[in-house]
Structures are given as C-alpha cells and as structure tokens.
Amino acid sequence: MKTNYLERMKEYLQDEYEEFLATLDKEMYKGLSVNTMKCRPSFVEENFPYKLTPSSFGENCYLFDGSVKAGSHWTHLAGLYYLQEPSAASVVKALDIQEGDWVLDACAAPGGKSHQIACALNNTGFLLSNEIDPKRANILMSNMERCGVGENMITCSSLERLAPQFQGVFDKVLVDAPCSGEGMMKKHELASVEWSVENNLACQKRQLRILDEAVTCLKTNGILVYSTCTYAIEENEAVIYEFLKRHPEMELLDGGDHVKRKGIPYKDLDVSKVRRIYPMDGGEGHFFAKMRKRGEAKAVFLKYKKTRRIHPSAIEFIKDQSDLSLNLIEINNKVYARKEMFLEAEMNILRQGILIGEIVKNRLEPHQHFYMSSLLMPHYHHIIDMTQAEAQLFLSGNVFAHQEKGYVCCAYKRVPLGFGKGDGNQIKNKYPKGLRTLKAFEK
C-alpha cells in the first residue's frame, strides 16, 4: 500500500494504528443478511454450510468463516440470504424503514442494501433501486430476482433524470455513494493502486452532486442516509459538512447505537452523530450519516400506467399456477405483476414488479422470477418438494423422474429453487443455464 495512504491512516487512528495494520494481513470478514421475506433466520442457521455468528451491525445479519463457495450453495441459490460484507449492513438499520414506506436506493448495485430494504418493507410500500452503470444495473436486477423482490422498480438512470420525476415522494432515501473504496482494498487491489488524495477529492465532487439530486426526492420529515466504504475524511465528514451548508433544510441526526465509533473531528460538524467502522470493529469499513428534511417539500404528481389488454395465455397461466390476485401489465410481450398499480416514468426501467414471463408464438413462456417471488411463494398451486438428490439434479440442469404434468415450481425443503415442465414421466429442466452448479450441497 502507498506510504502516504498509511500515513493518513496513522493520523486518523493514532493509538489504534498498529491494530489496524495487523488487520491488513487477515482474511476479509464474511457475512450475510437473511432474506426474511422467504424464511426465518433459524432456517438459514440450520441449513447454511458454515457456523453463523450474529452480527451487531444489522437486523438478521451474521458473520461466518468458510469458503467463498457459499455462493453456490443451494440456500444462496434459493435467495435465502445476501452475502454481504458485515459493516455494510449497518447502513440500512440507520434508515429505520417501516412497512409501507417509499424508499429510494439511489446507487443500488450490486444490491445488498436494496435486499435489506426490501426485507424491512416486507412486500409493502415501494422500493426504487437505481444504478447508473448498465452492467452493474443488470447484476442488481439478477440479485433482486434471486431474492424474490417484486414490489419495486429497477432503473438504470442518472439522478439528474430520475430526481425531477420523483420529487418529494420518498419517505427514505439511501445514497451509498461511489467512493475510493479504501475499506475494500483487500478485495480490490485496484483501489490501492489508484489511491490518491486527488482521487478522494474527485469522488467528493461526484458524491455532492449525487446528494444534491437525491435530497429533492424526499418528503417533508423524510430521512436521508449517506454512506461510503472508504475512510477518507474528504469523502465522509467533509461531504456531510458541505452538504449541510448547501441544504439548511437538512438536519443531522444521531446514527444509532448499533455502531459505537463516532466520526473524525472536522471543522464545526457534530461528528458525534456520524458513524465510522474500521476492521478492528468487526467489518472491513464503512461510514454513514443520517439526516432529516425539515420544512415543506414540493411533491410531483405521479403517473400510473394505463391498464392494457393482457394476452389470454398469461391470464390462464397465472390462474393455473397461483391463487393470488395481482395487477398485471404487458410491455413488449412481457407480462409483469404487482400488488399495486404500475408507475409511469421516462427513463430506462429494467424491471417493475414480478416478471411473469414472455409471450412467444402466442403462448406464455414463464420466467424464473415468477417462481422465485417471495410474495407468490406461499401461493403456488403446483409445487414439487424435491429430495436432495433431485434438487442437485435440478440445480445442475438435469431432468428427474416425476409424474407431474405442466409447469411446476421445483422446491427443496419447501423453498422454491425454480421451475420445470412435466410430461407425466419426468420434469424438463427450466433452471437458468448461467446459474447451474454441481456443488449445491458442498462446503
């Protein structure tokens, strides 16, 4: 690591510097956040391949020691948790999300914090997860699909375009800002190679631009949480100081007692209210600050998509597969479902609601998202509870013998993994090729 970076850390940490240095030679902390929309934490504890230790950083969050192969274990493929660096989980707890809230995750990829938000909402309210980078936005969508999130919108847009269309409508806004990633240097060597104060300052300008747009989306008394995974004061305390100067309507609140370490002194900012995490605290590193919007907030009038004709094969399929009544919409031959009405927005919407399937040759071809939905999970009419041997065959892309006919939800321990189509003798596998694995039950 660069000498000037380490000198700065010594200045920040003082008596704790040697302890910090010792952490640089250790493995990264590993953690997960349980998907409470799909299961109880105790179910993950019983079925996860490694011992789990509860984490203080977030609700239903755990630490574990074990191989990174946890990502190919059946519990992960089923969307029962999100593998997440432990200190990252601290941020969503500060938002204090309540069921029914409208929440904007402004810089959402790869999706760990959006997953936590969705769990707190529990298929109520509305979550808009935005990511400006197209590749990262598709990763975000894939992760939200695996976790079974449906009462949401996933967009790939700049906040300059998004914010005016959602001015004053969100109860909570999270800005987990792009940063220099000093807390991720053990994971991403490039963060160490590219480190410089000039880069910190460049990140600061971008972070302030994002905050200036994001804050307009808040309702009166709405909560904004800003976070980074870096240690640089330029991107943390200095950003909050400058932001509060620009926006006198914003009030700095206490970050909560789930993280004990306060901020680094900076001008006249009340750093007792912001929070920092270092590797000595049990996570790789995070900073966050919680703020509230005072005064009147002007709100836009939201538009909703008009009801359109849904292809009859889609209606027939949904009635056959589930007893849950949902709002439906068909866009470019793809059929989506939501509990609430579909919003209209002029931007790149990757997905809104649950993707039921696509109309191909005058019939509906189901999509994996339909069978991974946490909302639909208790409502499937046709479900096979596979043995472990059958589940491994399924997750590796193979057929297995079964007398069921038509489309069926394929589950293990009553947890959906995907779907297949039976001919009365065997189940033809429809599990996505890019997800298939031969090691779903290995450590």
Catalogue the active-site residues. 229
Beta strands 102-105 and 170-176, pairing class: parallel
The strand ranges marked E within 283-393 are 286-293, 303-304, 327-331, 334-338, 343-344, 349-352, 354-360, 363-366, 383-386
**287, 228 contact by CB (below 8 A):** yes
Q: Can you tell me whether residue 316 is helix, strand or coil?
A: helix
Which neighbouring-strand residues pair with 418? 410
| Tally of residues, the chain | 443
Which H or E run contains 135?
helix 134-146
Smallest Cα–Cα separation from 158: which of 181, 179, 137?
Answer: 137
**425, 401 contact by CB (below 8 A):** yes
Q: How far apart are CA 358 and CA 364, in angstroms?
A: 5
* Residue recorded with tokens 């039976």: 422
Q: How many other C-beta atoms can be found within 10 angstroms of the C-beta atom of residue 213?
A: 18
Q: How far apart are CA 65 and CA 86, in angstroms?
A: 12
Give Dmax over CA atoms of the chain in angstroms: 73
How many helical (H) and strand (E) elements, i.e. helices and strands, does the chain have? 14, 24
What is the DSSP code string of 377-426?
GGGBSSEEEE-HHHHHHHHTT--EE---EEEEEEEETTEEEEEEEEESSE
Which neighbouring-strand residues pair with 61? 33
